[in-house]
A and B are shown apart, each in its own frame.
Chain A
Amino acid sequence: MLEAPGRIWAIMAVALAVAVPLFFGSSAHAQEVDAEIFGVLRYEDAETEEDVLVADVEVEISNESGVVGTTTSDEDGRFAVSVTSDGEYTVTLDEDTLPEGVNLRSADNNPLETSVNDGKDRRVLFPLVEGEGGSTSGSGGVSLRRISQLTVEGFKLGLYLAMAAIGLSLIFGTTGLTNFAHAELITFGMLTTYMFNFYGLAAIIGFLAPLPPPFGGGVNLLFAALLGMLSGCALGYLLNRFIFKGARKAGVSLIAQLVMTIGLSILLRYSMLYLFRGGPRTFGDFAAQRALKLGPVELTPKDLVAMALSVVILLGVGSYLQLTRMGKAMRAVADNRELAESTGIDVERVIMLVWVTGGGLAALSGVFFGLDQVKWDFGFRILLLVFAAVTLGGLGTAYGALIGSLIVGLAINLSTLLIDAEVKNMVAFFFLAIILLFRPHGILGRPERVG
């Protein structure tokens, strides 16, 4: 009975692994379609806070076989190019044709990669800002409006980080493993969700491609996110079952296991680059939303929903850890493995569930981060933040990871009041150094000797 769920997981996960190369198989069948890639260029005037539409900007759309079309945005800031086949496209904005003083918010977002599926029109988004692109730096001045905006964004970052950090911390607590591959679990959730969003279940089982959604075509982002989370759970299960469980049994030292996670991290990351390619993309739904004004802060509806969802999920995880037998067992194993084992807790089973939960939570965190941008190395770029959060809270404690994440998220965003946004992630490093100097066990960790 105990073995059965494990077997189901394994079958699911193997199916997933076999199917990954089929991602692109399913998109390959070229068919004559009549679709449009379009977008609207606008920025917010800093003084009047009104949207300004940007005309006469050149945009070029190309695919593997070359340039498909070029166009210029009209008076409503709208540009559109017709394409005649499904597939991957690259959209490049000619930055020289932007008006004086208007720039892309992030140079990373040009060119954009997008894909057309089932002949549906596709919208792309080039976020523009007035003034210097790349960052809204310290020059923005300190106003109450800015502080509250940054605080809200800090909470957003903290909440999303927390979902990844809790898994990392629990895995460390239960097995002693410093898992550098956790970042790839975040990216994995993001990319699989993108794939389900565009190709539906055909992303797993290639021959379903000709069927209607949810089998052949893309599914709604919410459903895709659910599938993405399950894929994350499956990957977490697989990594434990086929890599780290064996290593623990064979008595491979923790240092060697740490090196293993680094190898695993490179392996997964570049496999994802190989399959997914380099350019940044956006999910099919909710890509271009207008921000709502809520008092002094602005948030897009998708961020609002995602933040609310992450609070619910974190509360759920918290009560799971606090109230259920398995949650208590997880905390007990994290606290003291030998003692837990001697009270009859099946430690291997707890570790398996920690990996599954951690994988799923990291994948969800990737989905939420992916609302802004989907990219093959996203997880690795925030790995430093996740580690800073976990160390700050105390390695191995679930609630510490939550508190640490919120502090790191807030500190990083509020630091842009003083320094350029470009280097804000460096703040996390200084946090790390200072914590280790004065309180190496973190906020909630036990002050035992760790030398």
Chain B
Amino acid sequence: MDWGFILERTFSTMFGVEVMVFALAAVGLNVQFGYAGLLNFGQVGFMAVGAYGLGTAISWLGINFWFAILFGVAYSVILGLILGLPTLRLRADYLAIVTIAASEAIRLFVRWRRMKDITGASEGIGEFADPFYDVSPFGVGVRYEFGPFSYLGRDLWVLVVGWTILILTVLFVRRLMSSPWGRAVKAVREDEDAARALGKNAYMFKLQALVLGGVIGGMAGMLQVIQKGSIQPDTFNPVITFTIWAILILGGAGRTWSPIVGAMIYWSAISFLENVLRQLPDGASSNLEDTIGLSDFNISQVRFILVGLGLLLLARYRPQGIFGSREEMALDDR
């Protein structure tokens, strides 16, 4: 087994595209759930409308790439309003049901055959991200090496832009949450009635937090499809949402850097496990295949099984996350 290779892959993953995209989506969820206590189980829906807002504006409306980003943002805002207006006055679990349903409805809608001319139906949208790579200072096909890390020029450009956005967003959220607005949002999370008694409009604060988190999610969706170079409807499935939840709870909800920490732990663990399983000596791997039917083909399914198990155990035994403290956020009833 080549441990050097496995560790190199694991470290490269820690700063890779998945960590960047999922951390950003988790920052959005952190605003919604961590600070405002909203059970958004449709974060992938925000990612989808962000991605499709960008893609359809370019391929269907023929709008300039940089201007099209505003469409992705606008669609995320609209989705946040549609989901929030009817549900935020109700008990928390109604929002969970509605958001999970909405994210599936969005996926069904964009892959609808009649949407072919607009969203490309099940084939999706391709070839829209060229202007982004045209301004890249890195050679597209060149491999850049930094010590143990190595990335293709194309990915490196996405990573530089993505991590800059991610860090700026985290700093912005940190600043925001210590502002009067942020303190009011946390007050609503802790005790809605008390906040209301002090004259705060709890409903508006929750709605604003939902929309803000949604826009951040939409940005994550845009970055993801820019890196892929294409938009596929079926990549926006609910498992993405659950992974984001696992990441956020892993890092500790309601904490500034937890989305990034959680995403790094999650994806490097996944990468480590997959690489170890794929590199097992022949004897051991055929043994595994004979006894539990594990093969190259279904290794990635094991990963989802572990996500599920991890989420179950974390929520049960450490609802505040690995590094979190119980005072700030403990997945409490609100």
Closest residue to A429 on the B side, CB-wise?
Answer: B105
B308 in contact with A178 (CB, 8 Å):
no
- Give the chain A neighbours of B312 by CB distance below 8 A: 243, 260, 263-264, 267
A178 in contact with B98 (CB, 8 Å):
no
Interface size class of B (residues with CB under 8 A): 35 or more
Q: Which one of B82, B242, B305, B334 has the greatest number of beta carbons of chain A within 10 Å? A: B305
Stretch of B5-13, B46-54, B85-93, B224-232 lying at the A interface: B85-93
A436 in contact with B94 (CB, 8 Å):
yes
- Give the chain A neighbours of B114 by CB distance below 8 A: 420
Residues of chain B in range 304-329 having any CB-CB distance to chain A below 8 Å: 304-305, 307-316, 319
- A15 interface residue per 8 A CB criterion: no
- Give the chain B neighbours of A247 by CB distance below 8 A: 316
- B102 interface residue per 8 A CB criterion: yes
- Give the chain B neighbours of A384 by CB distance below 8 A: 100-101, 104-105
B293 in contact with A270 (CB, 8 Å):
no
Q: Which one of B87, B90, B91, B93 has the greatest number of beta carbons of chain A within 10 Å? A: B93
B307 in contact with A266 (CB, 8 Å):
yes
- B39 interface residue per 8 A CB criterion: yes
Closest residue to B246 on the A side, CB-wise?
Answer: A263
B86 in contact with A436 (CB, 8 Å):
yes
B315 in contact with A24 (CB, 8 Å):
no
B39 in contact with A255 (CB, 8 Å):
yes
- A259 interface residue per 8 A CB criterion: yes
B298 in contact with A178 (CB, 8 Å):
no
Expressed in whole angstroms, the Cα–Cα distance for A267 and B301 within the complex equals: 10
- Give the chain B neighbours of A321 by CB distance below 8 A: none
- Give the chain A neighbours of B94 by CB distance below 8 A: 391, 436, 440, 450
Of the candidates A265, A380, A429, the one whose C-beta lies within 8 Å of that of B101 is: A429
B113 in contact with A134 (CB, 8 Å):
yes
Distance in Å: Cβ of B165 to nearest Cβ of chain A: 28
- B181 interface residue per 8 A CB criterion: no
- Give the chain B neighbours of A387 by CB distance below 8 A: 97, 100-101
Expressed in whole angstroms, the Cα–Cα distance for A148 and B126 within the complex equals: 43
Expressed in whole angstroms, the Cα–Cα distance for A254 and B331 within the complex equals: 9
Distance in Å: Cβ of B170 to nearest Cβ of chain A: 23
Of the candidates A266, A268, A275, the one whose C-beta lies within 8 Å of that of B239 is: A266
B90 in contact with A267 (CB, 8 Å):
no
Distance in Å: Cβ of A404 to nearest Cβ of chain B: 13
Closest residue to A437 on the B side, CB-wise?
Answer: B86
B292 in contact with A270 (CB, 8 Å):
no
Residues of chain A in range 400-446 having any CB-CB distance to chain B below 8 Å: 420, 422-423, 425-426, 428-429, 432-433, 436-437, 440
Expressed in whole angstroms, the Cα–Cα distance for A437 and B91 within the complex equals: 13
B301 in contact with A440 (CB, 8 Å):
no
Distance in Å: Cβ of B166 to nearest Cβ of chain A: 24
- Give the chain A neighbours of B265 by CB distance below 8 A: none
- Give the chain A neighbours of B313 by CB distance below 8 A: 263
- Give the chain B neighbours of A112 by CB distance below 8 A: none
Expressed in whole angstroms, the Cα–Cα distance for A250 and B330 within the complex equals: 14
- Give the chain A neighbours of B298 by CB distance below 8 A: 273-274
Expressed in whole angstroms, the Cα–Cα distance for A239 and B114 within the complex equals: 42
Expressed in whole angstroms, the Cα–Cα distance for A130 and B185 within the complex equals: 57
A262 in contact with B101 (CB, 8 Å):
no
Residues of chain B in range 265-298 having any CB-CB distance to chain A below 8 Å: 292-293, 298
Expressed in whole angstroms, the Cα–Cα distance for A90 and B323 within the complex equals: 48
- A253 interface residue per 8 A CB criterion: yes
A268-B308, A384-B104, A429-B105 given; A258·B97 CB < 8 A: no
A266 in contact with B108 (CB, 8 Å):
no
Expressed in whole angstroms, the Cα–Cα distance for A268 and B308 within the complex equals: 8
Closest residue to B83 on the A side, CB-wise?
Answer: A433
- B144 interface residue per 8 A CB criterion: no
B331 in contact with A433 (CB, 8 Å):
no
B86 in contact with A255 (CB, 8 Å):
no
- Give the chain B neighbours of A262 by CB distance below 8 A: 41, 242, 245, 311
A270 in contact with B308 (CB, 8 Å):
yes
- B60 interface residue per 8 A CB criterion: no
- Give the chain A neighbours of B109 by CB distance below 8 A: 423, 426
Distance in Å: Cβ of B193 to nearest Cβ of chain A: 10
B102 in contact with A429 (CB, 8 Å):
yes
- Give the chain A neighbours of B311 by CB distance below 8 A: 259-260, 262-263, 266
Closest residue to A271 on the B side, CB-wise?
Answer: B305
Q: Which one of B100, B102, B239, B311 has the greatest number of beta carbons of chain A within 10 Å? A: B311
- Give the chain A neighbours of B292 by CB distance below 8 A: 21
- A305 interface residue per 8 A CB criterion: no
- Give the chain A neighbours of B86 by CB distance below 8 A: 433, 436-437
- B249 interface residue per 8 A CB criterion: yes
Q: List 27 A-B contacts (CB under 8 A).
A: A24-B293, A178-B97, A255-B331, A255-B334, A256-B315, A256-B316, A256-B332, A257-B315, A259-B245, A259-B331, A260-B315, A260-B316, A263-B309, A263-B314, A264-B312, A266-B308, A274-B302, A275-B293, A383-B100, A384-B100, A391-B97, A423-B109, A425-B105, A426-B105, A429-B104, A433-B98, A440-B90
Which residues in B have some Cβ–Cβ distance to A below 8 Å? 39, 41, 82, 86-87, 89-94, 96-98, 100-102, 104-105, 108-109, 112-114, 238-239, 242, 245-246, 249, 292-293, 298, 301-302, 304-305, 307-316, 319, 330-334
* Extra pairs beyond A255-B92, A257-B315, A269-B304 (14, CB < 8 Å): A178-B97, A250-B316, A258-B39, A259-B319, A262-B245, A263-B246, A263-B313, A264-B312, A266-B242, A268-B308, A270-B304, A387-B97, A432-B97, A436-B90
